[in-house]
Amino acid sequence: MPLHQCPCCDYFSLPTRGEYDICNVCFWEDNGIDVDEPDEYSGPNHMTLREGRQNFLQVGACHPNSVKHVMHVDDRLWLRYRGRTLKT
């Protein structure tokens, strides 16, 4: 089964897109917001995608309180990753 790219961490870790699956890498709940709308508020995540992506870069999870739930960095080595840049 091919995995889909998480809008928050950019790892290919989601079984579907926009179906409220939670990414094991960053703990983002995918409600369909993508990098073309980074400043739209995500209700399930209680923040914007831009904020979640910044948190992931800083603490390794979409929110500091979610660090305990995410996949260890060594365990995600097998996942495909393709970094993307947000619109400014």
Q: Quote the mean pLDDT of the chain.
A: 96
3-state class (DSSP) for residue 81: strand
- Structure tokens given for 64: 């500091």
* Structure confidence by residue, pLDDT tens digits, 1-56: 899 999 999 999 999 999 999 999 999 999 999 999 999 999 999 999 999 999 99
Confidence of residue 79 (pLDDT cuts 50, 70, 90): very high
Measuring CA to CA, which residue among 79, 75, 57 is closest to residue 13? 79
pLDDT at residue 88, rounded to an integer: 72
State how far the Cα of 72 lies from the Cα of 74, in Å rounded to an integer. 5
Number of Cβ atoms within 10 Å of the Cβ of 10: 18
Residue-wise pLDDT tens digits, 51-72 = 999 999 999 999 999 999 999 9
Average pLDDT value for residue range 62-86 = 96
Where along the chain do its domains lie? 4-76
Sign of CA dihedral 38, 44, 56, 81: negative
